[in-house]
Each structure stands twice: as C-alpha cells, then as structure tokens.
Amino acid sequence: MRTTGTLSKALRGVGLLIAAQLTWIAAAAAQTPAPAEATPVNWHAVVMFIIFVAITLAITYWAAMRTKTATDFYAAGRGITGLQNGFAIAGDYMSAASFLGIAALVYFNGFYGLIFSVGWLVGWPVILFLIAERLRNLGKFTYADVASFRLKQGPVRTMAAIGSLIVVIWYLIGQAVGAGQLLHTLVPQISYRVSIVIIGALIIIYVTFGGMKATTWVQIIKALLLGGATLMAIGVMAHEGFSFNKLFSDAVAAHPKHIEIMQSVVPIGAKANPIESVSLGLTLMFGTAGLPHILMRFFTVADAKAARKSVLYGTCFIGYFYILTFIIGFGAIVLVANHPAYVVDVTKDVLNLKGGSSMPAVYLSHALGGDFFLGFIAAVAFATILAVVSGLTLAGASALSHDIYANVIMKGKSTEAQEVLVSKMCVVGLGILAVILGIMFEKQNVAYIVALTFSIAACANFPILLLAVFWRGLTTRGAVLGGYTGILGSIILLTIGPTVWTKVLNMGPAIFPYDFPTFVVLPAALIVAYVASVTDKSASAQKERAAFGPQMVRSETGLGAEVAVAH
Amino acid sequence: MTEPSVSNIENKPKNELSVSRIENNPKYHELVRSRDVLAWTLTALVLIIYFGFILMIAYAPGLLTQPISAGSVIPVGLPVGVGVILASVVLTAIYVTRANNTFDPLIQQIIQEASK
C-alpha cells in the first residue's frame, strides 16, 4: 500500500523533516511582516491565532510535566472528569466539517442540512446505551483492547488497528486540506503549504509532549470557544427581530432557489433516492459509534459512571451546537449571499463565495461583528482543526504502538517506556504524513473522505465491537472475517460508487450506484461474522466462548477494570 | 468529582473467585437483565425515532416539506428534525438518571458481596 510506504519513509526521515519544517516556518515568519500585496493582513485573526497557540503550548508544557506513564500518555491518567470529558468529546467530534460544513450545507441547500445535523447526533445515544460503559470497563487504551479481550490478540488487533488507521489517515487528509485552505484564505500571506506545515508542527508538539492530557485540554478549550458561535446565532436572530418566521421568509427571498430550500430533502438539484437516504442514515449513526478517536476518549475517565455522564454532557453540547449551526446557515443566506463583498460575482451566482464553499459561517461573523468577530471565528475554526487532528493523531499512534507494536509484534513483552517511545515516533510520523498528504491532496476533491471514514467505522469497527461485547458466540475467525468484510466491502463499493468512480476517477457511470454502501456492507459484515463464528468448531473457539462469562462480569460490574492513577 | 469508583475495589488474587461468586449472585443477573432491558428499549426508541424520520424523508418527503401553517415558509420537517435532536438528548438523560440511581448501587452491592 502506498500509505505504508510513505509512512516508513516518513519515519526514517523524521529528524530531517522536522528540520525542514522549522526552516519553512522560519521562512514563513520572515515573509509575514512584508505584506506589500493588495490584501491587508487580518491582524485580528493573526493575534487571536497567536493567543490560542500560546495558551495551548502553555497547557502542553503543563501536561508534559505530568505525563510520565503510558496511562498518562494514552489516557490522561484516567483523571478527566465526566464534565471535562463531555466537553472534550464535543471538541473531538465536531470537526471543521460539522461546524463550517453544516452551516455551508444549509447555506446552499436549506432544510437538507438539518438531516446531517440529526444524523451526526443520533449516534451518541447508541454509544451511551450500548458501548460507553462497557468500553471503559474492558479496555485499556484502544478499542482493539475491547474487541480482542477474549479473542486471539494478533489477528483481531491487526484487523482493528487497520480499521482504525484507515479511518484516522483519511480523516486526517480531510482535516489537513480543510485547514490549509481555511488558514490560507483567512491570512493570504501564509501560503497553503505553510499553513499545513504549521498545523502539522503544532500537532506533533501537543501530542508528543503533552499526550492525551494536552489533547484533552486543547479539545475542551476548543469546545468552549465554539460556544462563541452562540453570539453568531443571537446576532442573526437580533437582525431578524427574534422571529424564526422572518428569518426563514427572508432566507427564502434571498436564496436563488427560493421556496425550494424549504422543500428539498436531497441536495438542491439532486434526485430523491430512498435507499441512499437510508444508507446515509445508517452511516452517520453507526459511523459515529465506530470512530477510534472518539472511542478512545472513554479511557480517559475514572470509571464507567464518569464515562456515562460524559456522553450526556457531550450529547447536550453537540445537539445545542447543531441547532445553532442551522440558524447560522440560514443567517448566512440572508446576510452573506447577494453581498458583493463576499460573493465572487453577484451578477453570475449570488451564492458562490470568495475562498470556497466552506466560508458562509466565516463571512457571517464578519457581516455581524466586523474584522474582530471574523478574527475570533477564524481562530475558533483553527482551534477546531487542531483539536480534531490532535485526537486523530493520538488515536492513530496508539493503534500502531499499543496494538501493532506492543501486542502483535512484541506480544506484550515490551516495556511501558518502549511502547510510549514508539507511540511518540508514530505521532511524529503521522503528523508528517498528514502534512505530505495534505499537500498532495490540495487540488483534489476531498468530499468523499467523510463517506469513506464513516463507512468503514460503521461497517467494520462498530459491528465487531458490538458483537465482541454482547455476543457469547463471537470467535476470532468471526471477528477477523467480519471485520475485513466491513473494511474491504466499504473500500471496494466506495471506489466503484458515484463519488470516486465517476467524480474522482472520471470513469463514467458508477458500477455501484450508491454513495453510501453501508446498507449492504454492514449487514454483510454481521452475517459473515455470525456464520464464520457458529461454524468455528475449533478448541480455541470453545475457549473463547467460555471466556465470555468472566468478560461479561467485568464489562457489567467494572471488576478488574483499569483504575485511575493518583497524582 | 472523584467519587469512589467501583473499580478501585479490584483485588487481583481473588479476582477469579470473585467472578464465579458474582456469576452465582442473583443480584448480578438482576443487574444484567434490567440494564439490558433499559439499554435495548432506549436503543430501539432512538432507532424508531431516527429511522422514522429517515424513512419519511425517503418515502414520504411531502409530509415533511408541507408548511407548518398556511402562509408560513417553515416546513413540518424542521420542528420534527429539531425534535429528533431533543429526543436523543432526553433519552440519553433518562438512561444516565436510571443508571446513576439504580444500577450503580446494585453494582456496589454485588462487588462488596463478592469481595467478602
């Protein structure tokens, strides 16, 4: 695979590349004070970026002083409270794609955007009811700990780690490309490449030095900053006389498609497709419950009770925020569309914004509160990217170090110090990989990335985790075959589906006519796991089934679960 | 918020003994049964609510896109969608309250009885 090759190369060249990065940043810094170009430097944004970075680096220093053991590094010593973890979950989950992305979906398509808000939220109750507490009771650092609890470590962890890494790496590409474009649009003096390098360097610093503690606090601060979006929604409602009727009527009047934005349940212009809608629903709901960087957050709290509370806090915050985003999207239709300062050419397309399609929320902040508010929201978006990428990088590094290195290659015989060292090397490697891929994918259409990551999470990670926890009959053979069915099925059907086959590869009409393959692959993964397990008559399979009883005692009562470390 | 955690009572050498004691404790089966009933009922509710919404989008979009009242531009689907979000939060809160009040004390008892 190309990614593995790049990764090993990246790992070998660690020192060299860090040096190269530092030179790049120095060069960027040297260029910034000479903005002789037409666009003036957005000082509000720059100052707020710098304040945010200074605060997070101070936190990283504080966290680094307190990060000594593997539990500190991967799981913040399990000392995060339920409320803190709730905010961190919100900070980890709401990527720039959901903050800027839902606002943009609403801006272009109206009501349709709400379907995504709903879909991205409904996974959370399922995580709480079925997964969160059991995950905390059974696992140590990664979700593979839980999937492989009573099964063969090597094959199951390898499968789970591959599932995690594909999700993490593709998610990283999406975030890196978005981050580079955003930073470059907001501060044009910093080029796309330099933007991505700055982000890569910051992530490597946060995660290698501060581990999960620094990552958690970056995510908490980011979630609190997102609260600033409340001001945007209030600003919109104040402009509309606090009347939803007026807001929606004005939006219908301002949008070129008028009343259609209230009546279309598919993207404006697309044909309604029932199976696609259902498949999208499945993908969003169960994909959330299979994202490795999200599942990892449950290992940072003291016990199952705190894990449970953190989902409630997180769900409240995410739900609140998605409703805000909906108001923000409609506010942008009223205040940003048709506005010559934001639109490329009002005579041609009143929606088409300078700087690309993710800008509606950003320009809305400018329309409401000028350069200062724009600077603030830009800094929030930047913080969002850093928070999500930190969580992803740490999750990817733990799959490599805790699952592959410590448990598959070293078979549990490595020391804690070795494992953490490998993990930090993987963080550096993944950070550099994200920068390289971010630059490679600059001009690519990255819209399919969300579909890919959520599909694999929904079709491989989630069903195997669920079966491992709830079904006595699951054996190693079932978990491995079911898991690979989910991973390969998603990749193959996405590749021959409309987004990749037709739009990215330009190969003509898609062989598999649906964007989201979950409605086929999720049942297939479950069936394969079931059949492969029940037909497994081996002695080891018998032992695995017998081990379900003790696993269930631990999963239900927390007896023997990993304890919090006292500091 | 550092409440005493049930997992702190972990006792390695007695662990296997405790497991079989717990498996023979009727309270444990009571815990598993009542938690399973609650968790799967709530999961079913979320699935029904959400896929009800999704199936309406898929097969009866007209229901969701009609205006909430004559002369209004707001479609019925808007309050319905917001309702799905609020229902998710409410169901989550119901589970957490029930778990805090009934399951946690039960788990404490089970662990204590097993480590006697």
Residue A518's pLDDT band, with cuts at 50, 70 and 90, is very high
- What is the per-residue pLDDT for B11? 43
Distance, in angstroms, between B13 CA and closest chain A CA?
11
CB burial of residue B70 (10 Å; 0-12, 13-18, 19+): exposed
Q: How far is CA A355 from CA A181, A182, A358, A502, A515, in A?
A: 8, 8, 8, 26, 27
Question: Of the given ranges (A37-51, A104-118, A133-147, A388-402), which has the lowest mean pLDDT?
Answer: A37-51
Contact between A91 and A387 (Cβ < 8 Å): yes
φ, ψ dihedrals at A291, nearest 5°: -80, 120
Do A340 and A246 form a contact (C-beta atoms < 8 A)? no
Share of chain A above pLDDT 90, in %: 60
A301 and chain B in contact, CB less than 8 A: no
Of B1, B85, B110, the CB nearest to A319: B85
CATH of domain A2-30+79-557: 1.20.1730.10
- Euclidean distance between CA atoms A325 and A259, whole angstroms: 20
pLDDT, average across residues A71-75 = 94
Longest dimension (CA), chain A: 75
Question: Which of B47, B88, B98, B110 is the best residue to mutate to test the A interface, defined by the most A CB atoms within 10 Å of its own CB?
Answer: B88
Residue A448 pLDDT class (50, 70, 90 cuts)? low
Contact B10 A563 (CB under 8 A): yes
Which residue from A128, A552, A563 is facing B92, i.e. has the nearest CB? A128
Cross-chain Cβ contact B57/A265 below 8 Å = yes
For the record, the structure tokens of A184 come out as: 């470059």
Interface touch A265/B64, C-beta < 8 Å: yes
Q: Which of A458-472, B6-20, B74-88, B98-112 is least confident?
A: B6-20
Closest Cα in chain B, distance from residue A454 (Å): 18
Residue B102 covered by a domain: yes
Structure tokens at A560: 């023997």
- The pLDDT-based confidence of A101 (bands split at 50, 70, 90) is confident
Token pair for A394: 């740490």
Which has more pLDDT, A270 or A447?
A: A270
Please name which of A300, A252, A273 lies closest in space to residue A84, comparing C-alpha atoms.
A300
pLDDT of A542-553, one tens digit each?
999 999 999 999
Which tokens in the block code for residue A210? 């501060």
Mean pLDDT of the B55-68 span = 88
Neighbours of A222 (CB within 10 A): 28
What is the structure's pLDDT at A382?
Answer: 83
Q: Which residues contact A396 (CB under 8 A, 6 or more apart)?
A: A164, A165, A168, A169, A172, A292, A426, A430
pLDDT reported for residue A272: 74
- Rounded to the nearest angstrom, the minimum Cα separation between B104 and chain A is 8
Give chain B positions within 8 Å (CB) of A249.
Answer: 73
Helix or strand holding residue A52 (H, E): helix A43-65
Per the structure, the count of domains in chain B is 1
Cβ contacts below 8 Å, chain A against chain B, sum to 183
Which residues of A fall within a CB distance of 8 Å from B84? 118, 121-122
Distance between CA B100 and CA B106 in Å, rounded? 10
pLDDT computed for residue A445 by the predictor: 64
**A257 in contact with chain B, both atoms CB, cutoff 8 A:** no
Cross-chain residue pair B58–A278, CB shorter than 8 Å: yes
Domain that holds residue B97: 21-114
- Chain B residues with CB inside 8 Å of A272's CB? 58, 61
Q: Are residues A129 and B95, on separate chains, in Cβ contact within 8 Å?
A: yes
pLDDT at B34: 95
Is A128 part of the contact surface with chain B (CB cutoff 8 Å)? yes
Q: Do A114 and B78 touch (CB under 8 A)?
A: yes
Pairwise CA distance, residues A117 & A124, whole Å: 12
Residue A296: pLDDT over 50: yes
- Mean pLDDT score of chain A: 87
pLDDT at site A150: 95
In a domain, B12, yes or no: no
* Beta carbons of A249 and B73 less than 8 Å apart: yes
B5 within domain boundaries: no
User: What is the signed CA dihedral for A284, A288, A293, A298, rounded to 10 degrees?
Assistant: 170
Distance from CA of A118 to the nearest CA of B (A): 6
Min distance B98 CA to chain A CA atoms (Å)? 11
Domain ranges of chain A: 2-30+79-557
Task: Give the closest of A137, A265, A559 to B111, CB-based.
Answer: A559
Q: Which residue of B has its CA nearest to A111?
A: B78
Residue B68 covered by a domain: yes
pLDDT at A9: 39
Does B76 reside within a domain? yes
Give the mean pLDDT of A211-222. Answer: 93
Is A472 an interface residue toward B (CB < 8 Å)? no
Residue B85 has pLDDT above 50, yes or no: yes
Structure confidence at residue B14 as a pLDDT band (50, 70, 90): low
- What are the tens digits of pLDDT across the range A343-377? 888 888 888 888 777 889 989 999 999 888 988 88
Tell which of A98, A117, A265, A323 to mutate to test the B interface (max B CBs under 10 Å): A265
What per-residue confidence (pLDDT) applies to A280? 87
Q: Which of A252-261, A288-297, A331-340, A494-503 has the least mean pLDDT?
A: A494-503
Chain B, nearest residue to A273 by Cα: B58
Q: Which amino acid is at A543?
A: K
Using the Cβ of A260 and the Cβ atoms of chain B, whether some distance falls under 8 Å is answered with: no
What is residue A11's predicted lDDT score, i.e. its pLDDT? 34
Is there a contact between A107 and A337 (Cβ–Cβ < 8 Å)?
yes
| CA-to-CA dists, residue A543 to A150, A470, A477, angstroms | 9, 17, 13
Residue A82 touches chain B, beta carbons under 8 Å? yes
Flag if A278 and B74 touch (Cβ within 8 Å). no
Q: Is A274 on the interface with B (CB under 8 A)?
A: yes
- Most A CBs within 10 A among B16, B27, B41, B57, hence the mutation to make, goes to B57
Distance from the Cα of A265 to chain B's closest Cα (Å) equals 6
Residue A5 in this model has a pLDDT that exceeds 80:
no
Question: Is residue A537 classed exposed, middle or buried when 0-12, 13-18 and 19+ CB atoms within 10 A define those classes?
Answer: exposed
Supply the ipTM of this predicted assembly: 0.87
Residue B20's closest chain A neighbor by CA? A550
